[in-house]
Structure 1
Amino acid sequence: MARRPTLQDLARAAGVGTATVDRALNGRGNVSARSIAAIVEAAKRIGYPLPASAPVNAPNAKPKFDLGFVLHKPSQSFYQRFAHEITRTCAERTEAQITPHLSFSPSQAPDDFAKAITDAASKSQAVAATAINHPTLSRLVDRLTEDGIPLFPLLNDFAGRSGAGYFGLDNMKVGRLAGWMMATQLQRSCRVAVMVGGARWHGQGLRETGFRSALREHAPQITVADTSVNLETRQVTYEATLDLLQRHADLAGIYVAGGGMEGAIAALREARPPGKVSLIVNELTEDSREALADRYVTMVIATPLQTLCRALVRHMVDRVGKGPEFSRERLFFEPLIYLPDSV
C-alpha cells in the first residue's frame, strides 16, 4: 500500500515551509497568493487530500492580510484625511482581503508612540507609523524586525536601518523649496523665521536645513531668526508668531516646517494685513485653503496622500508575502504645490 503523503511531503513539493502550509490550510493569513497556488498544485500532484473546509479550496479565495497603522494628532484634519485614505486604499485592493488596524498615539511622547505601535503589531503582519526619533522607538523597531514584523516609517524616517522603508516627502527638498519661494517672494533685505515641532522630529530638522541653505544660496541678504519650537500645536504657534512680530519689526516671512500652522494664520489675521508677511505652511486644509485665498498664506506644500497610501499598502502586502528578503526602500513622493491662484 502506497504511503499517504504527509504535511512535510506537501511542503517539500510546494517549495515552502511546513509552517506556511499549516497557515494556508487553516486560514491564518501571512501566506502569499503565489504560495497558496503552489500548495494547491503540489497537493494535486502528490495526491495530498486537502480538507474540503480548507480556505485554499474556496473558489476565488483571497489572501488575507492584517495591516497596522499608527498616526497621531487625531483632531487635525490632515491626519483625519490620512486615516480615511488608508482605510479607502485597503478597501480598494479587491485581489486581497485587507483588514486595517488603525489607531492614534495619544501624545507625541516616545512611550505613547511605542505602546501604540506595539499594540498594532500584536494583531498585524506589518505596521506603518508616524513617530518621533527616539532610542525607545529605535529599540522597538529592532525587536519587531527580529519578530518578523516589518515597520514602515511615515513622513519622518524614525526607524533607521531596521525599518522596512520610508514613505513620505524628501524633507530636505521640501525645505529648499520653501526657502526658494521665500527668496523669490521677498527679494530684499529683511528677516524671516522658521518654526519646527521639536528636536525629535528629524524630518523637520531636514526641512529647516534645506530652508536655510536655499536662502543662503538665493538671498544672502535675508536674515533668518533663531528657530522657534512650536510643539506642533496651534496655541504655541499663535503665541510664538505674535512674539516674533513684536520683537522683529522687519519680519517679512515665516516658514512653519511642521504642524501648528493654524496658530500662525490666526496671529497674522489679527496683527498684519494680507500679504504683509509671507507665510509658507504644509498640507492643504480648510484653514490653509482659506488663508491662501485671503493672501495670508503664500504657498502650501502638501503630501500626495492618495499616491502615498496606494504605494504603502502595496509594499506592505508584498513585504508580508515575500518575507525578509524584500528589500528596504525609501520612497520619496513629489509634493503638491498650492498657490493663492490655484485654490
Structure 2
Amino acid sequence: MKKVTLDRIAAMAGVGVATVDRVLNERGGVSPHTTLKVLQAAKLAGLKRILPDSYRQAWQIEVILSSNDTYFFQKLAEDFRKIADLMGYQRIALHRTLLSEAYPEKVAQHINRCRISRDGIIVFAQDNPEIIAAIDECQSNGVPVITVASDLRQAKRLCHVGINQYQAGRTAGLLMSKIVPAQGDVLLVTGRHEYTAHQQRIAGFKSALLQRGPHITIRAILAGEDQRERLSRLLDNALSNLPRLAGLYNTGDVNAEVSRLLSRYQLLGKCAYLTHELYPITSQLLKADQLSFVIDQNAYRHADIALKLMVDYLEDHKVPDTYQEGEVPFTIFTAENCY
C-alpha cells in the first residue's frame, strides 16, 4: 500500500497541502466545510493517526485603528466589538489595537507581527512605504488585509471598506455652491494632510466648486494635523484676514474649536459651515442652526461590512470586488433629520 502523504490527501480533498497541514495539526483558520473535506479524505486514504475533531477554532482577526481621540475612530473601535459579539465568540476572536498614525513604522511592525498570529487583518493606516510593504507581505503569506476609511491603493489588500471620499467632497462642494449664491470666500480646514481620505475630500470639493461654484474662491487650506492648538492658531489668523467669510468646509474633526473661533468672529450661524460625522457637538450645532450640513460616513456600517467580508473570504474564499462590495453609503444630516 502506498504511503499516505499530505499531497495525496490534498489532491483527494481538492485543497492545498498547507490547508491539509493546518487541519491535521489543528492550526485553525480553515472553514468547517473544508475541514470536513480534509478529514474525510484522510480517512479514505487510510491515514494511520488520530484525526482531530472537525470543530475549528475561532478566526483570529486583528483590527488596527487610529489612537487619536476623534469621534469616528472611538465609535468605530466600539462598533467592531459590537459586531464581533453579534457574530459570536466561537466564530470570531477579535483583537483591537489602537496606534498613533504619527509613527507609521510602528504600525508596519505591528502588521508584520500579526501576519504570524492572525488569520486576517483590518487596518486603518496612512499611505506609507513601510506599511504598504507590510500589507504586501501579508498577501504573500496568505493573510488577507482589508483597509477601512482611508484606502491604500498601492497595497495588495483584499478590498477597501468605506465611503467614496471624493464623492463626499464633491457633495460638500455642491452644497456650498447652493448656499453661497453670490461672490464669496471660503476656507478649508483639514486634519492630517497625508491621509488619502482628506486628500480625496479636498480634491472633490475643489472639483465641484470649479464646475458649480465659479463665484466662490478658496482662500486657504488649513491643515491642523489633528492638533487643536495648531488648528486654532491657523484658523484665528485666517479669520482675522477674512472678516466677510462666506463659508467654511472642515474635512476632519475639531468642530468644537472651529465653532468657537467662528463665534469669536461673529460668523457662527452667518456663514455656510459644512463638516463630517454626526456626534453630540455637530448635532447640537445643527439644531442651533449654526452648522449647515453634516456628511456622516456611518462607523457601524464600516465595522459590519468589513468583518462580514473578511469572514466570507476566510470561510468560503469569496473574493470581494475591491470597492463595490465594501462601499458604505454616506448620509447628509441637517437640523431636520439629526438626532
Which of these residues, 191, 197, 200, is aligned with residue 191 of structure 2?
A: 197
Q: How far off is 1:48 after superposition?
A: 4.9
Q: How far off is 1:95 after superposition?
A: 9.2
Change (3 A) 1:140 1:3: closer
Q: How far off is 1:114 after superposition?
A: 1.9
What is the rounded CA distance, in whole Å, between the counterparts of 1:168 and 1:244 in structure 2?
32
For residue 254 of structure 1, give the secondary structure of its aligned residue in structure 2: strand
Alignment of 1:96-175 (within 5 A): 97-175=91-169
What is the rounded CA distance, in whole Å, between the counterparts of 1:269 and 1:337 in structure 2?
24
* TM-score, scaled relative to structure 2: 0.89
* TM-score, scaled relative to structure 1: 0.88
Q: How far off is 1:163 after superposition?
A: 1.8
Q: Deviations over 1:291-316 (max 9, x none)?
A: 21222221111112222222211221
* Larger RCO: 1 or 2 (CA < 8 Å, sep 6+): 2
Residue equivalent to 2:29? 30
What is the rounded CA distance, in whole Å, between the counterparts of 2:229 and 2:202 in structure 1?
21
Change (3 A) 1:285 1:55: farther
Question: 1:15 is aligned with what amino acid?
Answer: G
What is the rounded CA distance, in whole Å, between the counterparts of 1:120 and 1:258 in structure 2?
29
Q: Which runs of 5+ in 2 are unaligned?
A: none
Q: How far off is 1:155 after superposition?
A: 1.2
Q: Is the 8 A contact 2:164 2:327 kept in 1?
A: yes
What is the rounded CA distance, in whole Å, between the counterparts of 1:270 and 1:29 in structure 2?
59
Q: Is the 8 A contact 1:110 1:136 kept in 2?
A: yes
Residue equivalent to 1:333? 328
- Deviating beyond 6 angstroms after TM superposition, the runs of 4 or more aligned structure 1 residues are none
Report the RMSD for the aligned CA atoms in angstroms.
Answer: 2.5
For residue 227 of structure 1, give the secondary structure of its aligned residue in structure 2: strand
Residue 249 of structure 2 is aligned to residue 255 of structure 1: yes
Change (3 A) 1:266 1:24: farther
Alignment of 1:1-343 (within 5 A): 8-43=7-42, 45-46=44-45, 48=47, 51=50, 54-56=52-54, 61=55, 64-94=58-88, 97-272=91-266, 274-321=268-315, 326=319, 329-330=322-323, 331-343=326-338
What is the rounded CA distance, in whole Å, between the counterparts of 1:116 and 1:97 in structure 2?
23
Q: Is the 8 A contact 1:24 1:55 kept in 2?
A: no
Q: Is the 8 A contact 1:70 1:103 kept in 2?
A: yes
Change (3 A) 1:141 1:44: closer
Q: Is the 8 A contact 2:224 2:231 kept in 1?
A: yes
For residue 187 of structure 1, give the secondary structure of its aligned residue in structure 2: coil
Q: How far off is 1:288 after superposition?
A: 1.3
Q: Is the 8 A contact 1:171 1:207 kept in 2?
A: yes
Q: Which runs of 5+ in 1 are unaligned?
A: none
Question: 2:36 is aligned with what amino acid?
Answer: A
What is the rounded CA distance, in whole Å, between the counterparts of 1:112 and 1:271 in structure 2?
41
What is the rounded CA distance, in whole Å, between the counterparts of 1:188 and 1:142 in structure 2?
49
Q: How far off is 1:27 after superposition?
A: 2.9
Q: Deviations over 1:161-215 (max 9, x none)?
A: 5122111111110001001111111211111111222431122111111111111
What is the rounded CA distance, in whole Å, between the counterparts of 2:110 and 2:292 in structure 1?
36
Out of 75-84 and 236-245, give the one that drifted further.
Answer: 236-245
What is the rounded CA distance, in whole Å, between the counterparts of 1:281 and 1:263 in structure 2?
13
What is the rounded CA distance, in whole Å, between the counterparts of 2:322 and 2:90 in structure 1?
23
Q: Is the 8 A contact 1:164 1:329 kept in 2?
A: yes
Q: Deviations over 1:191-240 (max 9, x none)?
A: 11112224311221111111111112222111111211110233323332
What is the rounded CA distance, in whole Å, between the counterparts of 1:84 and 1:293 in structure 2?
26
Change (3 A) 1:293 1:240: farther
For residue 332 of structure 1, give the secondary structure of its aligned residue in structure 2: coil
**What is the count of residue pairs matched by the alignment?**
336
Q: How far off is 1:319 after superposition?
A: 2.8
Q: How far off is 1:333 after superposition?
A: 1.4
